[in-house]
Structure 1
Amino acid sequence: MLSQAPLNADLHVVNAQVLYDGVVEAVRDVSFSVDAGRIVCLLGANGAGKSTLLKAISGILGPEKGALTKGSITFAGKGLTALSSDGIVRKGIVQVPEGRRLFVNLTVEENLLMGGFTVRAAERAVRLESVYSLFPDLTDHRHRVAGYLSGGQQQMVAIGRALMSSPSLLMLDEPSLGLAPKIVEQIFAAISSLRDSGDIAILLVEQNARLALTISDYGYVLERGRVVFDGDAATLLGSPEIQEFYLGLDQSAGRKSLRDVKHYRRRKRWLA
């Protein structure tokens, strides 16, 4: 198992508001927490604000003309909003972005070593072998150019590269996107094993609600930049609203959002 820094991974996002160009509100009054040694998932459709929240935590909103305009983000009891993106990484928070974004002209091993460039050589070698242990499929491809890998193998490299810095909090943005079901199963098994080791906390953004909730401890559902539902994973999986709208178990016409579903159910109970 990967050797990690001492874990102190409690993340708290409180009443966060994010604006783009100073006028477009992507996130409104969102609060959530990620406790040490747990997987927490953010669910919702495209445009719900999930990836924006990860960027706010990572401190990388600036290039997209976005900004956290209200609220606070703290990690291990310390505020993050005044830190640069590299300062946030040094605090133990690492994000694996949607689309993987590897150095496609470098080999697998060179990509992985880029993730541990601040670590001493001896420790870097230990972490490298730990990544290969977590993702055995990469072992035979360590000297292959990353751009020639399959999408699933590239996702494994992206996660492995993040783990090379020994994070306390790993943030994953749509790790299943565009991948074959068998590969997704392997990657999510690896994510679960990381959590089960007790060495890392994971914040997971994923559109596949059933898959995310299957491995998560707690979940938050976002719509139009707001949290509209939250609970432990088993509760969300068993929720009629979540099953109906997000898990596709009932395709009743005219339901535009989770709020519509909840209003419909309240009205049905009142009429009864």
Structure 2
Amino acid sequence: MLTLNNVQIVYDNVIEAVRDASLSVDQGQIVTLLGSNGAGKSTILKGIAGVLYPEEGDIIGGTISFDGKNLIGRKPDEIVRDGIVMVPEGRQLFEPLTVEENLMMGGITRTRAAAAEALDYVFSIFPRVKEKRGTIAGYLSGGEQQMVAISRALMSRPRLLMLDEPSLGLAPQIITEIFAAVTSLVKESNVSILLVEQNAELALSIASYGYIIENGRVVMDGTPQKLMSNEDVKEFYLGFSESGHRRNMRDVKHYKRRKRWLS
């Protein structure tokens, strides 16, 4: 379905943000990208979606293909029509518009009849969004805004949905609700998910495969079971010490051992 092979991305022709990254997402999979801030995860999503240009980013090496079709150089709206949509970090709603107006912007590539059908579809996934359809988007809570952002992306009925930090700044109950909706999308609509998420434990709990990104390159990949059994993953991403106990924040802050994959 989606395949990245040795992708290299730079900003301003100088800063290498992604180096020889390779990954894949198959139909009906939830694949997660894990890594610290600045590791290159969001840049990978933007490269797939074709939205690097506002930040002077360029793909200078490798290939990105979707169902065998090259995505590099294609316009963002063409990639949406191909079936790939990204929900960016920070949600980025049109705050002066109503919820329904935001949703209809997400369906702009579809016919009026198809957009109306898609509206019913997203309301069935997020009933709370339906309740707020006439509310100005800027007046919603953070969790409600995230639901609207995902719903807006689903208006184009994508085959691959890319989520960038969907749990950021949200209450645990709302996070649970959103992630339950995401997993149901995969089971009921066969939508594939490419998920960037700081909460590694949460991401691995729903993923079928994962990649760890460090300094712009993939340093480890595997099933959630494989990653969660790795000592470095447990220590640096899940917060467990080598003895199996959770570390407190002071221990993590002062911990100096290098990750084994950087040795």
Q: TM-score, normalised by structure 1?
A: 0.89
Deviation at 1:186, TM superposition (A): 0.4
2:96 matched to 1:83? no
Aligned residues of 2:81 and 2:109 also touching (Cα < 8 A): no
Aligned residues of 2:4 and 2:23 also touching (Cα < 8 A): yes
- Which amino acid in 2 is paired with 1:137? R
2:113 matched to 1:122? yes
Q: Percent identity?
A: 57
Distance 1:222 1:147 in 2: 33
Aligned residues of 2:21 and 2:216 also touching (Cα < 8 A): yes
Distance 1:126 1:81 in 2: 31
- Of the candidates 151, 159, 171, which is equivalent to residue 162 of structure 2? 171
Aligned residue number for residue 51 of structure 1: 42
Distance 1:198 1:185 in 2: 19
Deviation at 1:113, TM superposition (A): 0.9
Structure 1, gaps ≥5 residues long: 1-9, 264-272
Deviations 1:38-96 (A, max 9, x none): 00000000000000001111111112111011100000111011211111111111000
User: Which aligned segments of 4 or more residues in structure 1 are displaced greater than 6 angstroms?
Assistant: none
Aligned residue number for residue 177 of structure 2: 186
Q: Any residues of structure 2 matched to 1:83-162 within 5 Å, and which? A: 83-162=74-153
**Matched residues, number:** 252
- Which amino acid in 2 is paired with 1:244? E
Structure 2, gaps ≥5 residues long: 242-246
Q: Any residues of structure 2 matched to 1:181-260 within 5 Å, and which? A: 181-250=172-241, 251=247, 253-257=255-259, 259=261
Distance 1:183 1:80 in 2: 34
Question: 1:171 is paired with a residue of what secondary structure?
Answer: strand
Aligned residues of 1:245 and 1:258 also touching (Cα < 8 A): no
2:60 matched to 1:69? yes
Distance 1:234 1:41 in 2: 13
Aligned residue number for residue 267 of structure 1: none
- Which amino acid in 2 is paired with 1:213? L
Q: Give the RMSD, CA atoms, in angstroms.
A: 1.3
Q: TM-score, normalised by structure 2?
A: 0.92
